[in-house]
Structure 1
Amino acid sequence: MSLLRAKIQDVFNEPGCEKNRGKDAKARKEGCSKPLTPGAAAGGCAFDGAKIVLQPITDVAHLIHAPLACEGNSWDNRGAASSGPTLWRTSFTTDLTELDVVMGQGERKLFKAIREIKEAYGPPAIFVYPTCVTALIGDDIEAVCKRAAEKFGLAVVPVNAPGFVGSKNLGNKLAGEALLEHVIGTVEPDDAGPYDINILGEFNLSGEFWLVKPLLDRLGIRVRACIPGDARYFDIACAHRARAAMVVCSTALINLARKMEQRWGIPFFEGSFYGISATSEALRQISQLLVKQGANPEILGRTEVLIAEEEAIAWKKLAAYRPRLAGKRVLLNTGGVKSWSVVHALMDIGIEIVGTSVKKSTVEDKERIKQILKDDNHMFEQMAARELYAMLSEHKADILLSGGRTQFVALKAKTPWLDINQERQHPYAGYDGMVELVRQIDLAIHNPIWGQVREPAPWDCQPAVREERPRTKSETATLHVVQEFVGTTADDFGEC
């Protein structure tokens, strides 16, 4: 437990984080996140954050050493995609019971589970995750994993991130520490080259990294390891021989990028593949870093040629949407790099940004937003559901771009909504991804369903005034039957 405490303190003092450097010593020790409320950590604890980062490593087994409920549904862990192995989608848990806890059988049961996974699946590695229960009862995960690795001849990686130690973001960083301590640098590649790079913090949501990788392939740049999206264990083990790195989600794995630079001299930069200009700038910076690391400078020229070609194609495709979307107002309730990179591309086709969330954005992200929007009046840290509903119901925005948590606010306000967070079904990275995002916005705004749901409900229509005429005897008899049957008079019925 003391070792875990030391790791957590090291993460809190992360010098690679611009926001952390701006704090005083006392504030830095408190970390970046608010304390967790007991009983309210589900979906936002350190264990959840660690599993989010590591589960997309597709060819390893992820074993949860805990009661059954801690495992959850492995198919529900974001929308990361794999181009091959599916072992990462299989749920493994030691399923501890009250009797196991009382009788001290946790470590024995963990060792047995590792052996069963080895014999049944033969993975290159097994990642073991303790949770609140097993951490509190004192199971020595490190010792069990070390003994199992020696006994069974495979890597068994302890991921010390029980839920009670902190937030999801802290769990992200502890997962990076586990990779650094037990995985990266354990295998020496025999094909290292001057154009090898690492991509950190890219989750390949909906397969969107597959829209970016072909661009790098055309430049002769090889992705040694994409951590964690569509990753393989041995690729990550060889990641220390890359020449440069790009960090996509700085709040998740900035500590991993900084320590890899310290240990192996791999320079890194923070960038984004969301938006046309952001993608172009990322390709430039990758090429520039490789040249500084000894690559042939001719790659700089080839990069500019590729950027010019791809931007021309993308803008030509986007031109078809300009007359349909010009003047439309968009509200973004997201964060991180999407808070500014998506904004820039949408504004270029005439879309107006009425607001963008900066809840998960870094200081650099906020500065970029100010430069793009020319002021900070359209930035908000967070917006309560009541305020969000009022803004949408008053038609101050034509569409809401957000995650699944706020979709029902938009639907209740009868406003189009598009998912751009991790649960999305369409890839939005790179040049083609930006075109797809605009296409989805166009489809959502111009969907004819919105015209229908905004019409008055049939039961809200006023009865039509009809010209009275004398009733026949048969009509009068029928009206009396209706009155007795439904408890009202037929004169009360009108037309809508």
Structure 2
Amino acid sequence: MSLLRAKIQDVFNEPGCEKNRCKDAKARKVGCSTPLTPGAAAGGCAFDGAKIVLQPITDVAHLVHGPLACEGNSWDNRGAASSGPTLLRTSFTTDLTELDVVMGQGERKLFKGIREIKEAYGPPAIFVYPTCVTALIGDDIEAVCQRAAEKFGLAVVPVNAPGFAGSKNLGNKLAGEALLDHVIGTAEPDDPGPYDINILGEFNLSGEFWLVKPLLDRLGIRVRACIPGDARYFDIACAHRARAAMVVCSTALINLARKMDERWGIPFFEGSFYGITDTSDALRNIAELLVKQGADPEILGRTEVLIAEEEAIAWKKLAAYRPRLAGKRVLLNTGGVKSWSVVHALMEIGIEIVGTSVKKSTVEDKERIKQILKDDNHIFEQMAARELYAMLSEHKADILLSGGRTQFVALKAKTPWLDINQERQHPYAGYDGMVELVRQIDLAIQNPIWCQVREPAPWDCQPAVGEELPRTKSENVTLHAVQEFSGTTAADFGEC
């Protein structure tokens, strides 16, 4: 437990953020976010956060050492896509019972589980996640993993992030520490090159990274490791040989980027692939970093040519949606990088942002939002469901972009809703992703169902005695269709 406390304190002493570099030594120790009281897990626990960061590594077996419910709660909690191995979809747990706890069988059961996975699947590595129960009873996860690695001849990585340690964001960072301590730098690539980069904090949700990677391929830039989206264990082990790095979700893996810069001299920048302008800026920054690291400066010219071609295509596709979405109002209830990157992307095509939440955003994210919106009144630290419903029912927004947990608030307020979080079914990154995002917003807002659900129900407008019940718009449409089919006139049916 003392080792875990020391690791947590080190994680929060984060000088890697641009804003933190301007602070004094005392203020810098606070880091990007404030430590929570152990157990006060806002938006998920540390164990859940560690699984979020490491689960998308496709060819690794992820073994949860704890009761069955812990794995059932966190398995496949993000729609991270894989282009090859599907071992990440298989759930592994030691299924610790009360009898195992009382009899002290936890470590023995964990070792047996590692052996069974090795024999049945033969993965290149097994990641072991302790939970609250196994951490509290004192199971020595590190010792078991070390013994299993020596016995079975494969990497067995302890991810020391039990749920009671703190928030989900803390678990993200502890997962990055596990990669630094046990994975990155343990293998050497056969063909390192001057155009190798790492992408950190990209989860390949709904295959989003597959919309960005072709752009890098056209520039001759190779992604040495995308951590964790669609990643392979060997690629991450060789990530220390990249020449530059881009951090997509700074609140999750900024500590990983900083320490890789300190140990192996890999410079990084924070960027986004959401929106046309941000995608272009990200490509430029990658090219500039590679040139500073020794790459041929001609890549800068090729990057500008690619950007000009892709932007022209994207703006041409978006032209059809501009008149349909001009002046439409969007309310964002999300966090992290999406709290500012999606705002910027939507404003590029003339959509008005009436508000965005910053509950899970870093200080840097909030500063970017202020620079984009120029008004603090559109920034919400936290919006309760009651307040969100009141805002939507008063028609202050035309659509809500959020995660699945608030979709029913929007539906109750009879307001269009679009999933922007990890459960989404469509990729929104890159130039093509921006077009898809605008298309989905247009489909949601223009859906004719909203005209129907906003009409008063027939039982809410009962006619007086002897009066005919008024018809709804949908009934009128049906009536006119019947008229055209039968050749009758409106007089035959009465006035609508």
- TM, length-normalised to structure 2: 0.91
Compare 75-84 and 54-63 and name the one that shifted more: 75-84
Compare 57-66 and 471-480 and name the one that shifted more: 471-480
Distance 1:136 1:492, change over 3 A: farther
Contact 1:54 1:175 in 2 (8 A): yes
Report the alpha carbon displacement of residue 49 of structure 1 after superposing the two structures with TM. 0.4
Q: 1:470, 1:215 → 2: CA distance?
A: 57
Distance 1:470 1:416, change over 3 A: closer
Report the alpha carbon displacement of residue 479 of structure 1 after superposing the two structures with TM. 30
Alignment size in residue pairs: 496
Compare 254-263 and 96-105 and name the one that shifted more: 96-105
Distance 1:482 1:17, change over 3 A: closer
Q: 2:263, 2:228 → 1: CA distance?
A: 20
Identity %: 94
Asked if residue 124 in structure 1 is aligned to residue 124 in structure 2, the reply is: yes
Distance 1:257 1:40, change over 3 A: closer
State the secondary structure of the residue aligned to 1:73: helix
- What residue is the counterpart of 1:277 in the other structure? 277
Distance 1:250 1:464, change over 3 A: same
Report the alpha carbon displacement of residue 335 of structure 1 after superposing the two structures with TM. 2.0
Contact 1:160 1:174 in 2 (8 A): yes
How big is each residue's C-alpha offset from its partner over 1:95-114, in whole Å with a ceiling of 9 and x where there is no partner?
11111111111111111110
- What residue is the counterpart of 2:243 in the other structure? 243
Distance 1:491 1:36, change over 3 A: farther
Report the alpha carbon displacement of residue 337 of structure 1 after superposing the two structures with TM. 2.2
Contact 2:32 2:362 in 1 (8 A): no
Distance 1:486 1:349, change over 3 A: closer
Distance 1:75 1:488, change over 3 A: farther
Contact 1:59 1:87 in 2 (8 A): yes
- What residue is the counterpart of 2:232 in the other structure? 232
Compare 380-389 and 254-263 and name the one that shifted more: 380-389
- What residue is the counterpart of 1:324 in the other structure? 324
Compare 288-297 and 12-21 and name the one that shifted more: 12-21
Q: 2:198, 2:39 → 1: CA distance?
A: 38
- What residue is the counterpart of 2:36 in the other structure? 36
Report the alpha carbon displacement of residue 34 of structure 1 after superposing the two structures with TM. 6.6
Report the alpha carbon displacement of residue 369 of structure 1 after superposing the two structures with TM. 2.5
Contact 1:275 1:342 in 2 (8 A): yes
Q: 1:329, 1:256 → 2: CA distance?
A: 37
State the secondary structure of the residue aligned to 1:192: coil
Report the alpha carbon displacement of residue 348 of structure 1 after superposing the two structures with TM. 2.5
State the secondary structure of the residue aligned to 2:245: strand
Contact 2:37 2:166 in 1 (8 A): no
Distance 1:110 1:464, change over 3 A: same
Compare 235-244 and 80-89 and name the one that shifted more: 80-89
Structure 2: state its 5+ residue gaps. none
Report the alpha carbon displacement of residue 377 of structure 1 after superposing the two structures with TM. 2.3
Report the alpha carbon displacement of residue 345 of structure 1 after superposing the two structures with TM. 2.6
Contact 2:54 2:175 in 1 (8 A): yes
Contact 2:39 2:165 in 1 (8 A): no
Q: 1:316, 1:361 → 2: CA distance?
A: 33
How big is each residue's C-alpha offset from its partner over 1:39-80, in whole Å with a ceiling of 9 and x where there is no partner?
775961110000110000010100001111111156541111
Contact 2:129 2:159 in 1 (8 A): yes
Report the alpha carbon displacement of residue 32 of structure 1 after superposing the two structures with TM. 6.1
Contact 1:19 1:362 in 2 (8 A): no
Contact 1:333 1:356 in 2 (8 A): yes
Compare 342-351 and 407-416 and name the one that shifted more: 342-351
Compare 65-74 and 282-291 and name the one that shifted more: 65-74
Find the structure with the greater CA-based Rg: 1
- What residue is the counterpart of 1:220 in the other structure? 220
Report the alpha carbon displacement of residue 356 of structure 1 after superposing the two structures with TM. 1.5
Report the alpha carbon displacement of residue 482 of structure 1 after superposing the two structures with TM. 32
How big is each residue's C-alpha offset from its partner over 1:400-449, in whole Å with a ceiling of 9 and x where there is no partner?
11111211111111000001011111000000000000000000000011
Distance 1:198 1:492, change over 3 A: same
How big is each residue's C-alpha offset from its partner over 1:432-490, in whole Å with a ceiling of 9 and x where there is no partner?
00000000000000001101100111211222442799999999999999999999999
Q: 2:266, 2:259 → 1: CA distance?
A: 9
Contact 1:325 1:350 in 2 (8 A): yes
How big is each residue's C-alpha offset from its partner over 1:184-241, in whole Å with a ceiling of 9 and x where there is no partner?
0000111100000000000000000000000000000000000000000000000000
How big is each residue's C-alpha offset from its partner over 1:315-345, in whole Å with a ceiling of 9 and x where there is no partner?
0000000111111111111122222222223
Compare 441-450 and 100-109 and name the one that shifted more: 100-109
Distance 1:342 1:480, change over 3 A: closer
Contact 2:183 2:237 in 1 (8 A): yes
Compare 14-23 and 403-412 and name the one that shifted more: 14-23
Compare 352-361 and 290-299 and name the one that shifted more: 352-361
Report the alpha carbon displacement of residue 17 of structure 1 after superposing the two structures with TM. 3.2
Contact 2:462 2:469 in 1 (8 A): no
Report the alpha carbon displacement of residue 180 of structure 1 after superposing the two structures with TM. 0.2
Compare 84-93 and 24-33 and name the one that shifted more: 24-33
Contact 1:13 1:20 in 2 (8 A): no
Report the alpha carbon displacement of residue 140 of structure 1 after superposing the two structures with TM. 0.7
Distance 1:270 1:469, change over 3 A: closer
Q: 1:473, 1:173 → 2: CA distance?
A: 54
Distance 1:484 1:313, change over 3 A: closer
Q: 1:435, 1:231 → 2: CA distance?
A: 26
- What residue is the counterpart of 1:438 in the other structure? 438
Contact 1:464 1:494 in 2 (8 A): no
Contact 1:463 1:493 in 2 (8 A): no
Compare 395-404 and 330-339 and name the one that shifted more: 330-339
Contact 2:32 2:251 in 1 (8 A): no
Contact 2:42 2:168 in 1 (8 A): no
Contact 1:479 1:489 in 2 (8 A): no
Q: 2:57, 2:432 → 1: CA distance?
A: 25
- TM, length-normalised to structure 1: 0.91
Q: 1:193, 1:347 → 2: CA distance?
A: 38
Compare 136-145 and 75-84 and name the one that shifted more: 75-84
Report the alpha carbon displacement of residue 370 of structure 1 after superposing the two structures with TM. 2.7
Contact 1:199 1:227 in 2 (8 A): yes
Q: 1:339, 1:378 → 2: CA distance?
A: 12
State the secondary structure of the residue aligned to 1:377: helix
State the secondary structure of the residue aligned to 2:376: coil
Structure 1: state its 5+ residue gaps. none
Contact 2:56 2:230 in 1 (8 A): yes
Q: 1:392, 1:224 → 2: CA distance?
A: 45
Contact 1:244 1:286 in 2 (8 A): yes
- What residue is the counterpart of 2:418 in the other structure? 418
Contact 1:73 1:91 in 2 (8 A): no
Compare 370-379 and 331-340 and name the one that shifted more: 370-379
Distance 1:297 1:454, change over 3 A: same
Distance 1:66 1:479, change over 3 A: closer
Contact 1:79 1:206 in 2 (8 A): yes
Q: 1:488, 1:43 → 2: CA distance?
A: 61
After the TM superposition, which residues 374-393 of structure 1 pair with which residues of structure 2 at under 5 Å, given as runs? 374-393=374-393
Q: 2:333, 2:120 → 1: CA distance?
A: 44
- Backbone CA RMSD of aligned residues: 7.0
Q: 1:293, 1:233 → 2: CA distance?
A: 25
Q: 1:278, 1:228 → 2: CA distance?
A: 21
Contact 2:15 2:29 in 1 (8 A): no
Contact 1:74 1:90 in 2 (8 A): no
State the secondary structure of the residue aligned to 1:18: coil
Distance 1:383 1:493, change over 3 A: farther
Contact 1:324 1:442 in 2 (8 A): yes
Distance 1:43 1:480, change over 3 A: closer
After the TM superposition, which residues 21-420 of structure 1 pair with which residues of structure 2 at under 5 Å, given as runs? 41=41, 44-72=44-72, 76-420=76-420
Distance 1:236 1:418, change over 3 A: same
